[in-house]
Chain A
Amino acid sequence: MSGTEPLSEKILARIALLQSMAAMLPNKKSVLEFICQGLSEVAGISHVDYYIPDCKNSLTQENDRGNLVITFPLKHNSILYADLIFHLVDPDVFEPYKPYISNFTNMLAVIFEQKAQRELNSNLIAELEQRVIERTRELQTSKEMYEEIVQKTSDLIVTADKNGKFTFLNRVAEKIFGVPAEKCIGTSLLDFTHPDDYTKTKEVLYLAKANHIEKTSFESRQINKQTGEITHLLWAVNFQFNNENCIEIVHGIAHDITVRKKAEEEHQKYEHQLQQTQKLESLGILAGGIAHDFNNLMGGLYGYIDMAKEGCTNKDVALHLDKAMNTIERARSLTQQLLTFAKGGLPVKKTGNLFPFIEDTIRFVLSGSNVSCSFTVPEDLWACNFDKNQIGQVIDNLVINAKQAMSSGGNLTITAENIVLGENKHPVLAAGSYVKVSVIDTGDGIPQEIITKIFDPFFSTKATGHGLGLATCYSILTRHNGSLDVESTPGKGSIFHILLPAALTIYPAEEQRTEQSHRGSGLFLVMDDEEVMRDILSIMLQSLGYTVICTVNGQEAIDFAKKAHSQHKHIKGMIFDLTIPGGMGGLEAIGEIRKFDDSVPVFVSSGYTEGFTMKNPEEYGFTASLDKPFRKTELVALLEKYLK
Chain B
Amino acid sequence: MEMHSMVSLGFTEEKVPAGTHMCLVFNNEQERIQSLLKYLLLGLQTKERVACFSNNITEKELRDYFSENGISYDERLSNKALMLSGTSEVYFVDGVFDPDRMLHTLMQYHKDSKAMGFPASRVIGEMMSEVEHTPGGERLLEYESRVTILLREHPITTICQYDANTFSGATIMEVLKVHPKMIVNGVVINNPFFVEPEEYLAQKKDP
Taking a contact as CB atoms under 8 Å apart, the answer to whether A34 and B173 are in contact is yes
* Contact bitstring A376-406, B, C-beta under 8 A = 1, else 0: 0000000000000000000000000000000
Give Cα A26 to B193, complex, Å. Answer: 21
Contact between B170 and A37, CB atoms less than 8 A apart: yes
Count residues of B near A (Cβ-Cβ below 8 Å): 19
When C-beta atoms are compared, the residue in chain B nearest to A22 turns out to be B169
A-chain residues with CB within 8 Å of residue B27 when the two chains form the complex: 24-26
The residue of chain B having its C-beta at the shortest distance from the C-beta of A16 within the complex is B192
Cβ–Cβ < 8 Å partners of A88 in chain B:
none
A-side contacts of B192, CB under 8 Å:
10, 13-14, 17
With A and B bound together, what is the CA distance between A34 and B164 in angstroms?
A: 11
Complex CA distance for A13 and B192, rounded to whole angstroms: 6
Which residues of chain B from 148 to 195 have a CB within 8 Å of any chain A CB? 164-165, 168-170, 172-174, 176, 182, 184-185, 189, 191-193
**A25 contact set on B, CB distance < 8 A:** 27, 164, 169, 172
A38 within 8 A of B: yes
Interface residue A21 (Cβ < 8 Å from any Cβ of B):
yes
Shortest beta-carbon distance from A532 to chain B in Å: 125
Q: Give A29 to B191 CA distance when docked, in angstroms.
A: 23
In the complex, which of the residues A10, A14, A20, A29 contacts B169, with contact meaning CB atoms closer than 8 Å? A29
A77–B150 CA distance with the chains assembled, in angstroms: 50
Q: Does A32 contact B (CB under 8 A)?
A: yes
Instruction: Answer whether residue A636 sits at the interface, using C-beta atoms and an 8 A cutoff.
Output: no
**Interface contact B164-A24, CB-CB below 8 Å:** yes
Q: Residue on A with the closest CB to B193?
A: A14
Q: Which partner residue on chain B sits nearest A11 by CB separation?
A: B192
Contact partners of A24 in chain B: CB under 8 A: 25-27, 164
Q: Known contacts being A10-B192, A25-B164, A26-B27, is A33 close to B185, with CB within 8 Å?
A: no
Residue of B nearest to A8 (CB): B192
Query: With A and B bound together, what is the CA distance between A14 and B25 in angstroms?
Result: 16
In the complex, what's the smallest C-beta–C-beta distance from A23 to chain B, in angstroms?
8
Q: Is A30 an interface residue (CB 8 A)?
A: yes
Given A24-B25, A25-B27, residue A34 in contact with residue B172 (CB < 8 A): yes
Alpha-carbon separation in the docked complex, A392 to B4 (Å): 137
Least CB distance, B95 to chain A, in whole angstroms: 27
Neighbouring B residues of A20 by C-beta, 8 Å: 184-185
**Contact pick for B168, options A10, A14, A33, A38, CB 8 Å:** A33
CB nearest neighbor in A for B170: A33
* Distance to closest chain A CB from B31 (angstroms): 9
Q: How far is the CA of A26 from the CA of B165 in the complex (A)?
A: 5
B164 touches A38 (CB 8 A): no
Pairwise interchain contact A26-B189, C-beta atoms closer than 8 A:
no
Is A348 close to B, CB under 8 A? no
Residue of B with least CB distance to A12: B192
How far, in whole Å, are A10 and B191 apart by their CA atoms in the complex?
9
Say whether chain B's binding surface is mostly helix, strand, loop, or mixed: mixed
| Residues of chain A with a CB closer than 8 A to B182's CB | 17
Q: Which residue of A lies closest to B172 (CB)?
A: A34
Residues of A within 8 A of B174 (CB): 37
Chain B residues with CB below 8 A from A35, complex form:
169
Give Cα A26–Cα B129 distance, bound, in whole angstroms: 14
Q: If A13-B192, A25-B164 touch, does A31 touch B169 (CB 8 Å cutoff)?
A: yes
Please, how many angstroms separate the alpha-carbon atoms of A146 and B172 in the complex? 56
In whole angstroms, what is the CA distance A10 to B194 when docked?
10
Give the residues from 52 to 67 in chain B that come closer than 8 angstroms, CB to CB, to chain A: none
* Interface membership of chain B positions 1-37, coded 1 if the CB is closer than 8 angstroms to chain A and 0 otherwise: 0000000000000000000000001110000000000
Contact between chains at A33 and B193 (CB < 8 Å): no
Contacts of B176 in A (CB 8 A): 17, 38
A34 — which chain B residues lie within 8 A by C-beta?
169-170, 172-173
Instruction: Please state if B25 and A38 are interface contacts (CB–CB under 8 Å).
Output: no
Whether the pair B184, A21 counts as a contact (CB closer than 8 A) is yes
Across-interface contacts of A31 in B (CB, < 8 A) = 169
Give the residue name and chain of the B residue nearest to A13 (CB): B192
Residues of chain A within 8 A of B165, CB atoms compared: 26
Distance, CA A25 to CA B172, complexed state (A): 9
Task: Please measure, in the bound complex, the distance between the C-alpha atom of A10 and the C-alpha atom of B177, giving whole angstroms.
Answer: 13
| Minimal beta-carbon separation of B146 from chain A (angstroms) | 22
Quick check: A38 and B173 within 8 Å, CB to CB? yes
Cβ-defined partner of A30 (8 Å) among B168, B191, B193: B168
A34–B185 Cα distance when bound, in Å, is 18
Knowing A25-B172, A33-B170 are in contact, say whether A38-B193 is a contact too (CB < 8 A): yes
Question: A507-539 interface mask toward B, CB cutoff 8 Å, 1 = contact, 0 = none?
Answer: 000000000000000000000000000000000
A17 to chain B minimum Cβ distance, whole angstroms, is: 6
Q: A21-B184, A25-B27 are in contact. Are A32 and B189 (CB under 8 A)?
A: no
A30: chain B residues within 8 A (beta carbon): 164, 168-169, 172
A31 and B192 alpha carbons, distance in the complex (Å):
18
Distance in Å: Cβ of A507 to nearest Cβ of chain B: 102
A32 touches B169 (CB 8 A): yes
Q: Which residues of chain A from 28 to 70 have a CB within 8 Å of any chain B CB?
A: 29-35, 37-38
Q: Is the CB of B170 within 8 A of A17?
A: no
- Docked complex Cα distance between A24 and B161 (Å): 14
Complex Cα spacing A392 to B174, Å: 129
Complex contacts, A13 vs chain B, CB 8 Å: 192
CA distance A33 to B165 in the complex (A): 14
Nearest neighbor of A32 in chain B, beta-carbon distance: B169
CB-CB nearest in chain B for A17: B192
Most buried by B among A17, A24, A30, A32: A24
Please measure, in the bound complex, the distance between the C-alpha atom of A13 and the C-alpha atom of B172, giving whole angstroms: 17
Q: How far is the CB of A9 from chain B (nearest CB, A)?
A: 9
Point out the residues of chain B lying under 8 angstroms from A21, CB to CB.
25, 172, 184
> What's the minimum C-beta distance from B27 to chain A, rounded to whole angstroms?
4
Chain B CB within 10 A, most for which of A14, A20, A21, A32: A21
> What's the least CB distance linking B179 to chain A, in Å?
12
B73 to chain A, nearest CB (A): 31
Chain A residues contacting B168 (CB-CB under 8 Å) are: 30, 33
For A37, give its contact among B173, B185, B189, B191 (CB under 8 Å): B173
Complex formed: what's the CA distance from A25 to B168 in Å?
A: 8
What chain A residues lie within 8 Å of B169 (beta carbons)?
25, 29-35, 37
The residue of chain A having its C-beta at the shortest distance from the C-beta of B174 within the complex is A37
B172 touches A17 (CB 8 A): no
When distances are taken between beta carbons in the complex, the residues of chain B under 8 Å from A32 are 169
A35, B173: Cα distance in complex, Å: 8
Query: Whole-angstrom distance from the CB of A522 to the nearest CB of chain B?
Result: 134
What are 27 A-B residue pairs whose CB atoms fall within 8 Å in the complex?
Answer: A10-B192, A14-B193, A17-B176, A17-B182, A17-B184, A17-B189, A20-B185, A24-B25, A24-B26, A24-B27, A24-B164, A25-B27, A25-B164, A25-B172, A29-B169, A30-B169, A30-B172, A33-B173, A34-B170, A34-B173, A35-B169, A37-B169, A37-B170, A37-B173, A38-B173, A38-B176, A38-B193
In order of increasing CB-CB distance, the 4 nearest A-B pairs are: A34-B169, A30-B169, A33-B169, A13-B192
Q: Taking A35-B169, A37-B174, A38-B173 as given, write out 17 further A-B residue pairs in contact, using a Cβ cutoff of 8 Å, ordered by the A residue number.
A: A13-B192, A17-B184, A17-B189, A17-B193, A20-B184, A21-B25, A24-B25, A24-B164, A26-B27, A26-B165, A30-B169, A32-B169, A34-B170, A37-B169, A37-B173, A38-B176, A38-B193
